[in-house]
Chains A and B, each alone.
Chain A
């Protein structure tokens, strides 16, 4: 073991830099101990305590640099001395980075401030969504709460805050919105057009957009209000505000309100607000077999004076063959399921929603019970695919009805996973394909793949439901 103690006069370095250099020198192989430090009283004492010979640095003062090295041999000491010089001369550590990269914001408010945003899109778990949404409103942002499982008392508070600040809350549980043609959440790619939609239902808005798109009509805004907005507790707060905003926008020529039937008192308020609008309003309260998204779209076209068109159907080369059994529906959209169920049960009798029911059934795999801890079936189809796979080999299945929802936010190529299952199906398969011409998945490609696999594909969800029910009835006759 050899000790080297060196004194360099008049070389001042900051103590922190020197602690780093000491660390680097001590890390050199064969170095037992080292001290690279200014010769202050404190450091001279440290030198003593470490057992170095102090005689070499008798004349030292606080402006002088000590380099003390204890190593197993001369070459190790040389290496250590070189390491000390590198540390003193070179940069103190990796200087990668630069000053320009700010740390990422951690809250939606901070993100909003960093970007001068006007809208916050919140899709954190429901238990955490209220805090982010309320703070976003207080920071002056409009808010879309994609998250579900937000307490209704919190929804009321958010909407009260928004009203006081002249802001809009879309949601909670708002899956779809369009603002100035920009899709938020699950939204189809639409042309910028004269229609303004205000709706409590995500897939209801999507289906309407797709039917209008088929007629060449674009959508300017679709403001989602959340599934509970028209309940007595919430009082239609977002619906009334969205309605007024759409009415005030000169670019909107017709307004559509899509909802399940509201609370009666709230319904009256909405009716009054609709009556007060200067812009024509089409109201579609879903729940009866004769009010569908297709009838709503037709009414809109009438108001605009646009001729209705046949909604697209993609038929397989071999016509579907009816067979005995129950109707089995596999949906990712709640409103699409509800609409299909109303239509089918009008002709077939009761249609259950429980996935284990014996007779006719239609299951919404986007419901809370199926999305706890996993992504929505529009993104992750695995659960629905499993159920579908067993249904198409089940002799009790008379016909299969399923929806495929395209658009922003949805699975990039849903049919790639569905077509193989459809291909091997024994019962006839009817598909409700919710998509526009410009959707990123390529609607025609998706439709063609389903058609080639033997499915009959409808753009209109109502038409698909009618067709599936007809297949069951035909087999029974």
Chain B
């Protein structure tokens, strides 16, 4: 009974949710009141939330997020995709987001698949590729231990980075980033795009492979943590991380035995692409979310990914099931004369960064890109602060200087999203709607609430 005296012994300090008049009545008595800006969750979640709250998901979520945070992602090698991803050896192409059929593919995904077919020699020209595309066997990157930004297309001959869990046994893969503008991942497929991919296979991959093998593994988590101190969010800004990567790899590149022109070209290529590190940050995230998957009863979000048509999520406790909704349009800033009318709906696996506490969740660390969130540093801080309410923990390594070094909000709990209506904020690039156009802008997108409503219901159904 001593516990009750904590109520009767002290002046009440009251947290309220509901009728405003009752909060006002307390304040009229001089009581310190903290109101919740409570809003009713969607009616379709009420039963499911009751079930999940009765069962108490917090233990399972803690377990899942601990696994997520126990991973130590190290970049260990560059290899050819078909040698490490069995599905590719059988001729399957991978793509971003939830499963999709050719006929449902948006412009940029279709464009990227066409480009990859040309690159692989599976078609002689774009027209033939467009006709034969529906014969392709497709699989989400996420089903094959991989992640890809934007269209996220991985075809058998592409070089991929190998990220290994130094604290466990997991592996994750990502293609190497091609740069901005007309690139495959934004659905461009002309000769220049394919030629660049070939150069990446012929020069970039072996040169980097040799440098990494000479130097030894690169600890990506340390690198990302430093980049956050230098103004990156890990999604829309990777300038600091890319610079740090070049410092890490620089000496080993110099010591390489291939021609100096090639090594210089590799250095210039990475230096000229602020997003080079994005793919590696994503793969580090993939390693983490795969470790967190499969905890019974856990409502922790282990995947948020978009294929340009649908936005999909997966939970730790609902196996391989995807919960999807139409991909939203990104609210953003546009390059040159492009406008929202040119924008494709949201696309890419890059929301993996938000899934592990980066990107929109680390917005407060990245004052340089506050233009995406209303233009003020205060707005950026607010975005990050809002995310703490839907996350399970704070990241032990990814810290935000302006928040006095507080860890980023990490590990999205789908029940909290459904309860609060606060949806994950995702920083992202914007692909052109038409195949071949490429990047048209960048901005902010909100994960559709419906995915979380459906996921929470499925999790509750499994528990009844």
Inter-chain contact A180/B8, CB cutoff 8 Å? yes
Q: Provide the bound-state CA to CA distance between A96 and B22, in Å.
A: 32
Inter-chain contact B12/A118, CB cutoff 8 Å? yes
Inter-chain contact A185/B1, CB cutoff 8 Å? no
Residue-wise interface mask of A (151-188) relative to B, using a CB-CB cutoff of 8 A (1 in contact, 0 not): 00010010000000111100000000001101111010
Residue-wise interface mask of B (24-49) relative to A, using a CB-CB cutoff of 8 A (1 in contact, 0 not): 01101101111111111100001001
Inter-chain contact B378/A97, CB cutoff 8 Å? yes
Residue-wise interface mask of B (247-275) relative to A, using a CB-CB cutoff of 8 A (1 in contact, 0 not): 00000000000000000000000001000
Interface residues of B in 361-402 (CB under 8 A from A): 368-372, 374-379, 381-382, 385-386, 389, 402
Q: Provide the bound-state CA to CA distance between A24 and B166, in Å.
A: 48
Chain A positions within 8 Å of B337 at CB level? 26, 33, 35, 50
Q: Give B197 Cβ to nearest chain A Cβ, in Å.
A: 17
Inter-chain contact A103/B385, CB cutoff 8 Å? yes
A138 at the interface (CB under 8 A from B): yes
Inter-chain contact B13/A14, CB cutoff 8 Å? no
Inter-chain contact A118/B10, CB cutoff 8 Å? yes
Inter-chain contact B334/A180, CB cutoff 8 Å? no
Q: Provide the bound-state CA to CA distance between A373 and B267, in Å.
A: 67
- With A128-B41, A182-B26, A184-B14 as known contacts, state yes or no: A168 contacts B7, CB within 8 Å: yes
A107 at the interface (CB under 8 A from B): yes
Q: Give A164 Cβ to nearest chain B Cβ, in Å.
A: 10
- With A110-B389, A130-B50 as known contacts, state yes or no: A35 contacts B336, CB within 8 Å: yes
Binds B, one of A38-46, A226-234, A291-299, A320-328: A38-46
Q: Provide the bound-state CA to CA distance between A149 and B219, in Å.
A: 55
Inter-chain contact B4/A146, CB cutoff 8 Å? no
Chain B positions within 8 Å of A40 at CB level? 272
Q: Provide the bound-state CA to CA distance between A94 and B377, in Å.
A: 10
Chain A positions within 8 Å of B222 at CB level? none
**Across the two chains, which residue of chain B brings its CB closest to A112?**
B15
Chain A positions within 8 Å of B19 at CB level? 123, 146
How many inter-chain contacts with C-beta < 8 Å in the A-B complex? 248
Q: Provide the bound-state CA to CA distance between A198 and B110, in Å.
A: 69
A114 at the interface (CB under 8 A from B): yes
Binds A, one of B142-150, B200-208, B291-299, B419-427: B419-427
**Across the two chains, which residue of chain A brings its CB closest to B369?**
A16
**Across the two chains, which residue of chain B brings its CB closest to A103?**
B386
Considering residues B3, B33, B402, which has the most beta carbons from chain A within 10 angstroms of its beta carbon?
A: B3
- With A16-B368, A180-B12 as known contacts, state yes or no: A123 contacts B1, CB within 8 Å: no
A414 at the interface (CB under 8 A from B): no
Chain B positions within 8 Å of A189 at CB level? 29
**Across the two chains, which residue of chain A brings its CB closest to B384?**
A103
Chain A positions within 8 Å of B368 at CB level? 14, 16-17
Inter-chain contact B180/A105, CB cutoff 8 Å? no
A89 at the interface (CB under 8 A from B): no
13 contacts between A and B (CB under 8 A): A98-B378, A99-B402, A103-B386, A106-B39, A108-B16, A111-B16, A121-B16, A123-B18, A127-B46, A128-B40, A138-B58, A166-B4, A249-B8
Give residues in B with beta carbon < 8 Å to A: 1-19, 21-23, 25-26, 28-29, 31-41, 46, 49-50, 53-54, 56, 58, 179-182, 272, 333-337, 368-372, 374-379, 381-382, 385-386, 389, 402, 416, 419-422, 441-442
